[in-house]
Structure 1
């Protein structure tokens, strides 16, 4: 679970149900991070109210500071803040997986096969 999640609202008051939901959804993204980067990740969530009428649309943006100077960010607009968190979570998940592939490339199958072949 990501321990450090900072939330702020720009024209939107962060309430307890939204805070719990966001911590649950964004906090579980650490399972996709490389092992060395899990403990020092800081996530910043900003909810902004956009549109002329209050409550019309919300913009949710999340930035994750990963040790080593890497920042992974996603932003989405939605009429429901809870649905917006789900959309941002899906975007972040894909970006984290790409980042993990850059940092830890996959091993090739032929190397593993050579370990178990009996040579004469």
Structure 2
């Protein structure tokens, strides 16, 4: 793993960097081989002297992201690693369940990658056809098959108000969003 560690409103010491790398490095035990991923770590000290830690690890079939606030920076790092471990275990459970239903994990991932590639091509074709609007920013991302519960979890982990995903049961593109009353809604495509 490649580490990108930033400090805001604080001096980033070697001891703190080593602690982060040691703790995040323990996540590698959940993978068959060490993932070639960029680990983005943001350590921040707020004006009220509380620490905020954000870690984002984009992987080919999973985005791991967590935030944690605590009075102690080292305690916040420990807590955020626990959150990331829970995300990995939850993802592995779902992959294993899907593998039992659909075949080997290699076949499942191959199918997911093929579907994501097709979806990406459809999005690019639609953007090329419709050039009448002033688009100021384009974002591309892979749609991962998941259920609505996991989509809500991913949306909250990213801190967004909506999340686009492929429904694992219907294989259709859906959007989950947070309503003003704090509950969630789903927009299903026909």
Give the TM-score taking structure 2 as reference length. Answer: 0.48
Shift of 1:103: 2.2
Structure 2 counterpart of 1:4: 2
Match among 18, 21, 44 for residue 20 of structure 1: 18
Match among 54, 65, 84 for residue 58 of structure 2: 65
Post-superposition CA distance 1:3-35 (Å, at most 9, x none): 2121001112210111111110011101113x3
What is the rounded CA distance, in whole Å, between the counterparts of 1:96 and 1:4 in structure 2?
18
Task: Report the number of matched residues.
Answer: 100
Alignment of 1:1-120 (within 5 A): 3-33=1-31, 35=32, 38-52=34-48, 56-68=49-61, 70-105=62-97
Which shows bigger deviation, 98-107 or 41-50?
A: 98-107
Which shows bigger deviation, 81-90 or 5-14?
A: 5-14
Post-superposition CA distance 1:66-86 (Å, at most 9, x none): 113x21111111111111110
Shift of 1:107: 5.1
Structure 1 contact 40–67 (Cα < 8 Å) conserved: no
Please report the RMSD computed on the Cα atoms of aligned residues, expressed in angstroms: 1.9
In structure 2, the gaps of 5 or more residues are 102-190
Whose relative contact order is higher, 1 or 2, with alpha carbons under 8 Å and at least 6 apart? 1
In structure 1, the gaps of 5 or more residues are 109-120
Shift of 1:102: 2.1
Instruction: Provide runs of 4+ in structure 1 moved above 3 Å.
Output: none
Structure 1 counterpart of 2:157: none
What is the rounded CA distance, in whole Å, between the counterparts of 1:11 and 1:79 in structure 2?
15
